[in-house]
Amino acid sequence: MRSPRTFVIFLLVVLAAAIMLPQTADAIPAFARTHKLSCNTCHAPFPRLKDFGAEFAGNGFTIPESEKDRDFISAGDDLLKLNKTFPVAARFDAYALFDSDADVKADLQTPWALKLLSGGNLAKNIGYYFYFFMDERGEVAGIEDAYIHFNNIGGQAFDIMVGQFQTSDPLMKRELRLTYEDYNIYRTKVGSSNIDLTYDRGIMMTYDFESTGTGLVGMMVNGNGKPDAGADRKFDNDNFKNFGFRIIQSVGDPLSLGYFFYSGQEMENASGEKNKVMFHGPDFVLGNGMFDLTFQYLFREDTDPGFSGADSDVETQGLVAELVFSPRRDKSRQYYTLLYNQIDSDSDADDYETITLGMTHLFARNVRGTLEYTRNVEEETNRGVIGLVTAF
């Protein structure tokens, strides 16, 4: 495994930039229409969430003080609460890509993604959210995020989400990033393993200790992604369930620290061989609204990712660091992103290292253009991307 010298230099630079700054004390367009608020209330820029947007999502997509009886249908039943309008929005992503060493060097990815989104309130302290991918990389991908959110259970800061979500959502939310380049350690599957930290089906629970600024997240998932149900009408393909846990601690306004642990097992049906998978690692968020730095380190261990029956442990280390510069904070129309990815694995095929520079310009609150350059350090290649992202 390689020594991550490049990352150490990168981290020192961005940490120095963020620490020296003076400190100051996925909503969708359907929500903006419902509550008559600008997209900027929750996003800066979309789809990246501000604190208010994260709180809005955490409250089951409701703003209790803004709810009015006139916004709901009166059916003469106190147990029925229906919105007068069904909240629906769409997102359209299109890109032009140049890849220096690929067989196809130039590609018009128009559209790259087209999806319908909906979310809102079902009842007091019960919300929902889902989106349907009508076109993802040229295919109908179907439902990705889809869950019911029970908020403030028992009058406590205790929430439960039931449905389909990304197991990396408590960390760096992939769907909210500004770059074409991904957070790659979350989507890496080592060897023949089917386990990663993207979409899965299960239950997620959160609890906040407001007096200490401490948050807890726990989850139980099938552990095999989101395949179709088989002939037995089951989504899971083995008898194992995977478990994840994260603790988050706020340290004043500018800094929050976290630690993530995930453990699971999977079995290959053909051979009956098993692979045990464990993730763990720290993360932090440091920022003042102008410079915001997010960092994730994950150590992954697989006991037999090739399902060979041999004791063949494979260790993988992953790093993601992202610095977003907003010159005028949430009033900015230009945003600049510096993103670093590194994966260093005993499975050489999974090694990965990139540095990405990105720029976003808001033509409107819900229309943004992107310009991005990525250097693949591992393969010594370059990629340029021009993009257009809209939500309406």
Question: Which pLDDT score is estimated for 18?
Answer: 36
Phi-psi domain of 309 (left: phi exceeds 0; alpha: psi -120 through 50; beta: other): left
Question: Which pLDDT score is estimated for 63?
Answer: 66
Domains and CATH numbers, the chain: 5-391 (2.40.160.10)
How far lies 351's CA from each of 102, 184, 223, 234, 279, in Å? 18, 10, 23, 34, 17
User: Distance between CA atoms of 239 and 274, rounded to whole angstroms?
Assistant: 11
Question: Which pLDDT score is estimated for 70?
Answer: 57
How far lies 172's CA from each of 76, 84, 284, 293, 368, in Å? 44, 34, 10, 11, 21
Task: Give per-residue burial for 74-90: e unless 16+ CB within 10 Å, then b.
Answer: eeeeeeebeeeeebebb
Question: Which pLDDT score is estimated for 13?
Answer: 44
How far lies 70's CA from each of 61, 81, 82, 83, in Å? 18, 11, 11, 9
* DSSP assignment letter at 19: H
pLDDT in tens, 233-255: 999 999 999 999 999 999 988 99
Q: SS3 letters for 312-370?
A: CCEEEEEEEEEEEECCCHHHCCEEEEEEEEEEEECCHHHCEEEEEEEEEEEEECCEEEE
What sections of 164-297 are H helices per DSSP?
184-187
Strands 255-267 vs 274-287: parallel, antiparallel or unpaired: antiparallel
Residue ranges of the chain with pLDDT lower than 70? 1-38, 50, 53-71
User: Distance between CA atoms of 41 and 192, rounded to whole angstroms?
Assistant: 43
